[in-house]
Chains A and B, each alone.
Chain A
Amino acid sequence: MSTIMLVFIWALLISAFLCLYRIAMGPTPPDRTVGIDILGTIVVGFCAFMSLYTGKDYYMNIGISWALLSFIGTVALAKFLERRSFDE
């Protein structure tokens, strides 16, 4: 059972590094923003997985707050890309 846990951890780490590649190499700013958004969602999955692995439930609190903060950051970056002011 520990082996399959290790395989899951490495798969999620590889996905996070693919997102980091897109953030580093993205030719336009929206590409980098897509990478940041997807990286946030993968970190939420990783928090759920760590909660299962250690048996502690407070990792899920980190996941919930990370999901909400990542959403706020994505929407703020999208409004910035659209060149609108923030009080519109």
Chain B
Amino acid sequence: MSETIGYIMITVGVLFDVLGCVGLVRLPDVYNRLQAATKCVTLGTCLILFGVAVMGFGSGQNAMAVKSLICAAFVLITSPTGAHALARGSHKAGVPLWQGSVIDQYQEYEETKS
């Protein structure tokens, strides 16, 4: 039972990983790539780690399961933080938006602040 649940979670996670990397290749500018890749790959990797934890608890390998939960917590904390710092850094570095973009609220905020 736990093995079936674990395999389903790992399958969905691997699917999210592959789709996030396709978005990383296909989308037009750095902010769209960051959006697609970070959210999809964070969810996919966390699903893989939770699936490994479920299968580890089911088969009695408690060390593997607990380390996998710790690793999932680290990924959930660090990946959005890194993406936020990266988006802010690339906006400050002056990377242009895609020409089809319609709104840039960070630019508007910077203009109202100064």
Minimum Cβ distance to chain B for residue A41 (Å): 5
A18: B residues at CB distance < 8 A = 21-22, 24-25
Query: CB distance A64 to B17 under 8 Å?
Result: no
Let me know if A82 and B52 touch, CB within 8 A. no
- CA of A14 to CA of B67, assembled, Å: 26
B70 within 8 A of A: yes
CB <8 Å contact, B75 and A44: yes
Say whether A57 contacts B78, CB under 8 Å.
no
The CB with the most chain B CB atoms within 10 A, among A30, A38, A71, is that of A38
Q: Are the CB atoms of B21 and A38 closer together than 8 Å? A: yes
* Segment 82-114 of B: residues with Cβ below 8 Å from A: 82-83, 85-86, 88-90, 92-93, 95
Size of the B side of the interface (Cβ < 8 Å), in residues, is 49
Best-surrounded residue of B24, B55, B88 (most CB of chain A within 10 A): B24
Kindly identify which residue among A42, A52, A83 contacts B21, using a CB–CB cutoff of 8 Å: A42
CB-CB contacts below 8 Å: A22-71 with B: 22, 28-31, 33-35, 37-38, 41-42, 44-45, 48-49, 51-52, 55, 57, 60-61, 63-64, 67-68, 70-71
In the complex, 12 of the A-B residue pairs with CB atoms within 8 angstroms, ordered by the A residue number, are A4-B7, A14-B18, A18-B21, A22-B25, A44-B71, A45-B13, A48-B45, A52-B10, A57-B63, A60-B71, A70-B82, A81-B92
The 9 closest A-B CB pairs, nearest first, are: A60-B67, A30-B90, A71-B78, A78-B89, A74-B82, A15-B21, A18-B21, A78-B85, A81-B89
Interface residues of A (CB under 8 A from B): 4, 8, 11-12, 14-16, 18-19, 21-22, 28-31, 33-35, 37-38, 41-42, 44-45, 48-49, 51-52, 55, 57, 60-61, 63-64, 67-68, 70-71, 74-75, 77-83
